[in-house]
Amino acid sequence: MSVVTGFRGFRYNPKKIDDVIKVLAPPYDVISREEQEELYRVSPYNVVRLILSKCDGEKKYSEAGETFRNWISDNVLIQDTEPSIYPYHQEFNIDGEQIRRRGFIAAVRIEDFSTKIILPHERTFPKPKMDRLKLTLACKANLSPVFSIYSDPEGLIEKDIDKRINGPLIDSLYKDGVRNWLWKISDQDLISKIKTRMSDCNLLIADGHHRYETALEYRNLKTKDPGTGSGERPYEYVMMYLSRAEDDGLLINPTHRVLKNLDSLDLENFIQKIGERFNIKRIDFNEAVSSIGHREFLMVTKDTESVIKVSPKNLFPESYKNLAVMLLHNVVLEEIITEEKSEIFYTKSIKEVSELVKSGQYVLGFILPPLTALDIFEVVLADEKLPHKTTYFYPKVLSGLVFHRLE
Question: What is the rounded average pLDDT for all residues in the chain?
Answer: 94
Q: What tens digit of pLDDT does each residue of 387-400 get?
A: 878 888 999 999 99
Q: What tens digit of pLDDT does each residue of 319-359 get?
A: 999 999 999 999 999 999 988 888 999 999 999 999 999 99
- Mean pLDDT, to the nearest integer, of 277-286? 95
Domain parsing of the chain, residue ranges: 4-251+394-405, 256-367
What percent of the chain is modeled with pLDDT above 90?
Answer: 83
CB environment 279-307: b (16+ within 10 A), e (fewer): ebeeeebeebeeebeebbbbbbbeeeebb
Query: What's residue 191's pLDDT?
Result: 97
> Long-range contacts of range 109-112, CB-CB < 8 Å, 24 or more positions apart?
109/2, 109/3, 109/4, 109/5, 109/236, 109/237, 110/212, 110/215, 110/216, 110/219, 110/236, 110/237, 110/238, 111/2, 112/216
Closest by alpha carbon to 144, among 22, 3, 240? 240
Cα separation values, 164 from 14, 101, 152, 185, Å = 22, 17, 19, 7
> Is it the case that residue 223 has pLDDT exceeding 70?
yes
What class is the 256-367 domain? alpha beta
Higher local confidence (pLDDT), 381 or 102: 102
| pLDDT class of 226 with cuts at 50, 70, 90 | low
Closest by alpha carbon to 49, among 400, 398, 396, 397? 400
Q: What share of the chain is helix, strand, coil (3-state, %, to 5)?
A: 35, 25, 35
- Mean pLDDT, to the nearest integer, of 174-192? 96
Contact 89, 101 (CB under 8 A): yes
- Mean pLDDT, to the nearest integer, of 235-262? 94
> Is it the case that residue 228 has pLDDT exceeding 70?
no
CA distance 294 to 330: 16
Is the model's pTM score more than 0.85? yes
